[in-house]
Amino acid sequence: MTIFVLDQVPRNMQMHVAKKLMSYSNICAEQVGFIEKAIVHKELEDKCLRLQMMGGEFCGNATRALAALMVHNQYPNITKAEDGHTVQLEVSGIDSIINCQVYKTEDDNTYLSQVNMPLPKEISDFSFEVDGIVFSSIKVEFEGITHFIVDSKKVKDKDLFFKQIKNEMDKTHYDAFGIMYYDYNEEFLEPLVYVKGTDSLFWERSCASGTSALGVALTYMKKKNIDQKVRQPGGLLQVTTKWSENSVESICLNGTVEIVAEGIVNV
């Protein structure tokens, strides 16, 4: 669940506002995004919105959701195609413009939203020791967030596992990281995400960047294109990748977005 704040909130107040909104237990929010004007690509200021996440991180699901919301609210200056809409967004955590494709469904509040995800900066095998046991994972580094793909069946103490990963990450500069616990047999993903700026840790119902990282890891392991439906606690996300000349050439993520409520909150 993502909350979008439409009012302009100064950056130095965003973290405080986000924590207040997330403290409301009846909202059940996992993250908060603040809607701003484009600031990196000034030439698109009148045509493109900026999504500034609460911790300055990149969030693929929030990006897909905002694109769907813009179509739902008939935001001007988005491109309408025969069967859908193209939405350009500037998003925290990355410098490039993100392109989304949004399609209406039979439900007025539900959309199919597809995003071309940014490519990873680095993919590597990563091993570390937890309580005397050596674990192997695949580390996928994006701008704004790093993910570790881990075989869920091999981890018994996930709290201890998280602490060890955090100890490793605290030796570096980072905005956020995720541990993607994946059951390779059941094809089921449990995403755990930590955002440094807000010191927040969540078992997410769905994680777009984590699903992309999983797609990258599977592509890296198999050395070929993949088209994989990934089950998560919040439902399905579909990740499609292209493998060319020993690297990942593209990542596309697709799934439904439901707009559930809109209103005013006093903080």
What CATH number corresponds to the domain at position 143? Answer: 3.10.310.10
How many of the other CB atoms lie within 10 Å of CB of 178?
25
Pairing of the two strands 226-232 and 200-203: unpaired
- Per-residue confidence (pLDDT) for residue 25, from 0 to 100: 64
Q: Is 240 exposed, middle or buried (0-12, 13-18, 19+ CB in 10 A)?
A: middle
Residues 245 and 149 in one domain: yes
Residues 95 and 67 in one domain: yes
Residues 12 and 101 in one domain: yes
Residues 40 and 56 in one domain: yes
- Per-residue confidence (pLDDT) for residue 149, from 0 to 100: 97
Q: Is 257 a domain residue?
A: no
Amino acid at 173: H
191 neighbors 209 (Cβ within 8 angstroms)? no
> Which residues are known to be catalytic?
59, 207
Q: Is 217 a domain residue?
A: yes
How many of the other CB atoms lie within 10 Å of CB of 174?
17
Say how far apart CA 61 and CA 58 lie, in whole Å. Answer: 9
Residue 263, CA distances (Å) to 7, 41, 225 in order: 12, 30, 43
Residues 84 and 189 in one domain: no
The DSSP annotation for 223-267 comes to TS-EEEEEEETTEEEEEEEEEETTEEEEEEEEEEEE---------
End-of-domain residue from the set 57, 89, 115: 115
Which residues touch 77 (CB under 8 Å, ≥6 apart)? 46, 47, 48
End-of-domain residue from the set 115, 146, 178: 115
Q: Which two tokens stand for residue 113?
A: 């939203």
- Per-residue confidence (pLDDT) for residue 256, from 0 to 100: 93
Considering all CA atoms of the chain, what is the largest pairwise distance in Å, rounded to the nearest integer?
Answer: 58
Residues 127 and 244 in one domain: yes
Q: Is 267 a domain residue?
A: no
Domain at 80, CATH number: 3.10.310
- Per-residue confidence (pLDDT) for residue 18, from 0 to 100: 87
Q: Which two tokens stand for residue 201?
A: 């840790």
Residues 54 and 84 in one domain: yes
- Per-residue confidence (pLDDT) for residue 57, from 0 to 100: 80
Q: Report the domain count for the chain.
A: 2
pLDDT tens for the chain, 267 residues long, are 899 999 999 999 998 898 888 877 657 777 899 999 887 776 666 778 999 998 888 888 899 999 999 999 998 878 887 789 999 999 998 888 899 999 999 999 999 999 999 899 999 999 988 888 888 999 999 988 899 999 999 998 999 999 999 999 999 999 889 999 999 999 999 999 998 888 889 899 889 899 999 999 999 999 999 999 999 998 999 999 999 988 999 999 999 999 988 888 777
Q: Is 168 a domain residue?
A: yes
Q: Is 10 a domain residue?
A: yes
Q: Is 262 a domain residue?
A: no
What is the domain extent for residue 47? 2-115
Residues 136 and 245 in one domain: yes
Residues 165 and 228 in one domain: yes
CB burial string 130-161: b at 16+ within 10 A, e below:
beeeebebbbbbbbbbbbbbbebeebeeeeeb
Residues 35 and 95 in one domain: yes
End-of-domain residue from the set 96, 115, 134: 115
Say how far apart CA 213 and CA 193 lie, in whole Å. Answer: 13
